Copies of this chain bind each other. A is one copy, B any other.
Amino acid sequence: MGFQYLTNIPLEEARDGYMSFLAEHGFAHKTGTVPVAQLCGMITAAPVYAHICAPHYHASAMDGIAVKASDTFGAGETTPVTLTPEQYTVVDTGDPLPDGCDAVVMIEDVVNLEDGNVRLHVSAAPWQNIRQIGEDICAGEMILPAYTRITPAAAGAMIAGGVLKAEVICPPVIGIIPTGDEIVEPKEDPAPGDILEFNSTIFSSMVKEWGAEPKVYPICPDKKDLLKEELSLALKECDIVLVNAGSSAGREDYSSAIIGELGEVFCHGIAIKPGKPAILGACGSKPVIGVPGYPVSGIIVVDQLLKPVLDAWFNQPKGHSEEIKAILSRPVISGLKYEEFVRVRVGCVDGKYVASPLNRGAGVVSSFMKADGIMAVPQGLEGYEAGSEVTVRLLKPEHELQNTIVVIGSHDPLMDELSDLIHTADPEMNLSSSHVGSMGGIMAARRGEAHLGGVHLLDEADGTYNTSFIRKYFPNGGVRLVECVGRTQGLMIQKGNPKGIKGVADLQREGLRYVNRQKGSGTRILIDYLCKKENIDTGKIYGYDREEFTHTSVAAQIASDSADAGMGIYSAAMLYDLDFIPVCTEQYDLLIPDYAWETPMVQKLIEVLKSDAFRKRLEALGGYTIGDPGTVRMHF
Cβ contacts under 8 Å, A186 to chain B: 36, 159, 164
When the two chains form their complex, are residues B1 and A107 in contact, meaning their CB atoms are under 8 A apart? yes
The reply on A132 being an interface residue by CB < 8 A is yes
- Taking a contact as CB atoms closer than 8 A, the residue among B134, B192, B203 that contacts A57 in the complex is B192
In the complex, what distance in Å separates the CA atom of A605 from the CA atom of B247?
44
A631 an interface residue at 8 Å Cβ cutoff?
Answer: no
Chain A residues 63 to 119 lying within 8 A of chain B, measured CB to CB, are 63, 90, 92-96, 102, 107-108, 112
Docked-complex contact A320 and B399, CB < 8 angstroms:
yes
One of A138-146, A228-236, A279-287 contacting the partner: A138-146
Query: Among the listed B56, B315, B550, which residue makes an inter-chain contact with A192, where contact means beta carbons less than 8 Å apart?
Result: B56
Residue A520, interface by CB 8 Å: no
Would you call A381 an interface residue if the criterion is a C-beta within 8 Å of the partner chain's C-beta atoms? no
* Minimum C-beta distance from A405 to chain B (A): 12
CB pair B562 A132 closer than 8 Å: yes
Within 8 A of B (CB), among A273-329: 293, 295, 299, 315-317, 320
A256 close to chain B: CB less than 8 A: no
| 0/1 string, A394-426, CB within 8 A of B gives 1 | 000101000100000000010011011001100
Residue of B with least CB distance to A126:
B546
Cα A142 to Cα B90 in complex, Å, equals 66
- A154 to B424 alpha-carbon distance, docked (Å): 18
**Residues of chain B lying within 8 A (CB to CB) of residue A180:** 94
> Closest residue of chain B to A545, judged by CB?
B126
Q: If the complex has contacts A52-B189, A250-B92, A423-B146, are A202 and B41 also in contact, measured as CB distance less than 8 A? A: no
B182 adjacent to A56 (CB under 8 Å): no
Q: Mark A165-207, 1 if CB is under 8 A from B, else 0.
A: 0000000000000001010001111101111111101111110
Contacts known (A209-B40, A369-B157, A552-B140); A420 close to B47, Cβ less than 8 A: yes
User: A427 within 8 Å of B by Cβ?
Assistant: yes
Q: Is the CB of A36 within 8 A of B136?
A: no
Of the candidates A202, A361, A366, A403, the one having the most CB atoms from chain B within 10 angstroms of its own CB is A366
Contact flags (1/0) for A343-357 with B, using CB distance below 8 Å? Answer: 000000000000000
Count of identical protomers in the assembly:
2
Interchain CB contact under 8 A, A424 and B63: no
State in angstroms the CA–CA spacing of A213 and B198 once bound together: 28
Bound Cα distance from A147 to B419, whole angstroms: 11
> With the chains together, A63 CA to B251 CA distance in Å?
9
- Identify the stretch in A436-444, A462-470, A553-561 within 8 Å (CB) of chain B at 4 or more residues: A553-561
Asked whether A363 is an interface residue with its Cβ less than 8 Å from the other chain, the reply is yes
> Is A622 at the interface (CB under 8 A from chain B)?
no
Q: Which B residues are in CB contact (< 8 Å) with A55?
A: 363
The answer to whether B159 touches A96, judged by C-beta atoms less than 8 angstroms apart, is no
Specify which of B3, B135, B155 is in contact with A361 (CB 8 Å cutoff).
Answer: B135
Q: Considering the complex, which residues of chain A in the window 479-506 have a beta carbon less than 8 Å from any beta carbon of chain B? A: none
Distance in angstroms between the alpha carbons of A193 and B133 in the assembled complex: 12
- CB contact under 8 A between A141 and B107, given known A146-B420, A196-B159, A369-B153: no
A343 to B: closest C-beta gap in Å? 9
Flag whether A525 is at the interface (Cβ < 8 A). no
Q: How far is the CB of A83 from chain B (nearest CB, A)?
A: 14
* Residue A211 at the chain B interface, CB threshold 8 Å: no
Residues of B near A193 (CB, < 8 A) are 57, 94-96
* C-alpha spacing A320/B155, complex, angstroms: 24
Please state if B556 and A134 are interface contacts (CB–CB under 8 Å).
Answer: yes
> Does chain B have a CB within 8 A of A162?
yes
Residues in B whose Cβ lies below 8 Å from that of A142: 413, 416-417, 419-420
Question: For the complex, is A342 an interface residue (Cβ under 8 Å from B)?
Answer: no
Assess whether A127 is interfacial by the CB under 8 Å rule: yes
| A255 at interface, CB cutoff 8 A | no
A559-586: CB near B (< 8 Å → 1, else 0) gives 1101000000000000110000000000
A142–B412 alpha-carbon span in the complex (Å): 12
Docked complex Cα distance between A3 and B107 (Å): 9
A53 to B553, CA, bound (A): 9
Q: Shortest beta-carbon distance, A564 to chain B, in Å?
A: 14
- Chain B CB within 8 A of A51 CB: yes
> Are B151 and A560 interface neighbours, CB within 8 A?
no
Beyond the given pairs A94-B180, A148-B423, A151-B369, 6 more chain A to chain B contacts, judged by CB atoms under 8 angstroms and listed by A's residue number, are A57-B192, A58-B560, A61-B361, A135-B553, A146-B424, A153-B369
* Residue ranges of A at the interface with B (Cβ–Cβ < 8 Å): 1, 3, 36-37, 40-41, 47, 51-58, 61, 63, 90, 92-96, 102, 107-108, 112, 126-127, 131-148, 151-160, 162, 164, 180, 182, 186-190, 192-199, 201-206, 208-209, 248, 250-252, 293, 295, 299, 315-317, 320, 359, 361, 363-369, 371, 397, 399, 403, 413, 416-417, 419-420, 423-424, 427-428, 543, 546, 548, 550, 552-553, 555-557, 559-560, 562, 575-576
The 10 closest A-B pairs by CB, nearest first: A40-B205, A152-B205, A159-B198, A153-B368, A142-B416, A57-B192, A134-B556, A145-B420, A140-B575, A138-B552
Name 10 A/B residue pairs within 8 A (Cβ), A-sorted: A37-B201, A40-B205, A56-B190, A134-B552, A145-B423, A146-B423, A152-B205, A152-B299, A157-B368, A164-B186
